[in-house]
Amino acid sequence: MDSAPDTATSLPPPAATDRIELGLTGMTCAACAARIEKVLNKLPGVQAAVNFATETAGVTFDPAATDPAQLIAAVERAGYGATVRRDAEADRALDKARKAEEFDALRRDVIVAALLTLPLLAQMVPMLASGQLIGGAAHAELIPRAWQLALATPVQFWIGRRFYVGAWHALRGGGANMDVLVVLGTTIAWGFSAVVTILGLEGQHVYFEAGAAVITLVLLGKLLEARARAGTSAALEGLLRLQPKIAHVVRDGTLVDVPLADVADGERFVVRAGESVPVDGIVRDGASSIDESMLTGESRAVAKSAGAKVFAGTLNQEGLLTAEATGTGSQTLLAGIVRLVAEAQGSKAPIQRLADRVSGIFVPVVIVIAALAFAATWWWAGDPTRALVHAVAVLVIACPCALGLATPTAIIVGTGRGAQTGILIRNASALEQAGRLQTLIVDKTGTLTEGRPGVVAVLTFEGGTRRDLLRVVASLEQGSTHPLATALLAAAARDGIVPDPVTNFVDTPGKGVAGRVGDTNEVSRLGTPDFLADAGVEVPAAAIQTLAHGGNTVVAVASGERALGVIALADRIRETSARAIHRLQQMDIHVVMLTGDNAAAAEAVATAVGIKEYRADVLPGAKAEAVRALKAMGVVTGMVGDGINDAPALAAADVSFAVGAGADIAVEAADVTLVRDDLGAVVDAILLSRATLAKIRQNLFFAFGYNVLGIPLAAAGWLNPVFAGAAMAASSVSVVTNALLLKRWRPPAQ
């Protein structure tokens, strides 16, 4: 046999990459995020995505060209702070403490600013009554100008110091952000008013209330925004609270309470009624019902007995369970969910690209528009004071924050809500693509079906009964772990059959088993019809044909030379599969089944669940080729599977779904992991994606619409700077609040 030429040695080895997450500080708007991302991506071998909502950057880099210290240095040169996030739980705790401290400081600043600004705003009441507020027309002054200067100055330079610091950092790093706009607008208003006041220019107007009110309103908006943004991570926080702090572990025959970090794999632990399971494990003793809704989204309790799996964070409702730890610390299913959700919330959706491009050039464009408004108004009206007010209003109303928050806040809430309903989304791109699916390819075994054989029919012959037949079956198969034997034993157990002892047992691999059951002298046999025929037992061909339709596996049972009957086994279709296929078709998603099984079995399952297009005898590589062929035609293609053979197709799809009970390699290759072994979860994932995309589009519309409408109004002089500041604060809050409405999303009743 000729060997293929070795061309691998002529190709350069693939570049090794590392991935880290940076925690960022100092960002005030989307322009900051765009600036940091641009700076990081200029480094050799670096690919970075900055998330303004989570204040993090996901960075993939070539360690031979760049190291974490260089990444941090680049961020700091741009005027911001960065740290490497290593311990997810500890980092979250530190972030929470830091944000709580910042929130308290911000609240104090807002209160002080409001107390100093309210007297200045009080003199605007006559303006409201006379309709002079629009455009900043002349108004009566109730407070002496010296007092106005005394009230406005601390608001401008003490309370507003954060804007000056942020603007300096941005400009030093070669960029411009929202702080630059606020500083320019309010400093011009304060500086002009201060000069007029100090020089005693009675013929000119002052705008102390405008600068102070803008700073106060922007800070108030940031306070409300911070409170709203805290709600976006509520789902992740809720998951973290599910796991108890201690475990009841059996050591040296004694039950002791130990911290979760001290529980080791293989140790036995006890879960009492009403307690949460501390780590993943397998039940060794006891029976109970466990609420697994935090994993699956299903409210019904799941019965647990010896051999059943239990998962950290689920709630034991009834009895006492003793289990053996199989997953502790970061290896629990709950920890994996939290890790997956956190990664997804920090990722960036393709739909965000437009907002990122706009944010990157937004501030310089606004400054140009403000300068043009100033020049045009002065030229047209001949009034530099009025021109100044127009320019200040433009600078103040333009806020890129809403653009930066529009997509990530919806992604955070959507992925968190998915985690609470058993839908684990790996990244924002998958969440977006799921909502655009046109064709969904499904595997048969383990996806549409249960993935394991079960008894579907029992046919007894004359002179025999079902109990006699199942007693022989249970006796011959007792102790066997073969999938068919497990199915036969389960059927016998459902009928209350107790196995008899067996002597002279003989196992013929691939054919069947034989032995003397109970105290009889006759040899009983269980196996293929040919196995019985070789022993001289005749099995009616008509009975075999009756049960063999649809690809069923048929086994025959005999006692001595007399056939007792035949049993049909098949991989049973999940009860929810047909309904899920119908729902997908109603959503205008074309469903195709690809299976490696034979044509008869494929046709039977496809017909039963309502799939019109299917292919049988498809090898794993052919599944992936089918996915790539559809993608080449421009069709947004998804793949659902659960086995190792599905991994190539899952990796090739635009968006892929793996059922939670599937092989590890399938779960690793998939974009979305479904904790429930139910195709209906795919429908729920698609509906969640569509709901999240709808929120993103609404947010982007609000953000773009606000600026498209607000900036021209301000430039034309139809908005006073105070109103402009209020509108800017309201825009960010409205976007976050709209995203939070996703928390109300529920999977529809099936």
Catalytic residue set: 443
- Which H or E run contains 303? strand 302-304
CA distance 491 to 567: 11
At residue 540's C-alpha, the angle toward residues 534 and 546, to 5°, is 120
Phi-psi region of 42 (alpha: psi -120 to 50; beta: other; left: phi over 0): alpha
CA distance 492 to 468: 10
Residue corresponding to tokens 């360690």: 63
**Angle in degrees, 0-180, between the axes of helices 353-381 and 680-715, rounded to the nearest 10:** 10
**Angle in degrees, 0-180, between the axes of helices 178-199 and 353-381, rounded to the nearest 10:** 20
Tell me how crowded residue 568 is: count the other CB atoms within 10 A of its CB. 22
Tokens representing residue 257 in the block: 């309470």
Q: Are strands 655-659 and 672-674 parallel, antiparallel or unpaired?
A: parallel
Task: Name residues whose C-beta falls within 8 Å of residue 193's C-beta, 6 or more positions apart in sequence.
Answer: 145, 148, 149, 152, 206, 207, 208, 211
- Which H or E run contains 34? helix 30-41
Q: Are strands 562-573 and 449-460 parallel, antiparallel or unpaired?
A: antiparallel
- Which H or E run contains 587? none
CA distance 564 to 749: 45
CA distance 399 to 209: 20
Largest separation between any pair of C-alpha atoms in the chain = 123
Q: Taking Cα atoms as reference points, which of 45, 30, 61 lies closest to residue 22? A: 61
For 491-522, what is the HEC assignment? Answer: HHHHCCCCCCCEEEEEEECCCEEEEEECCCCC
Amino acid identity at 325: A
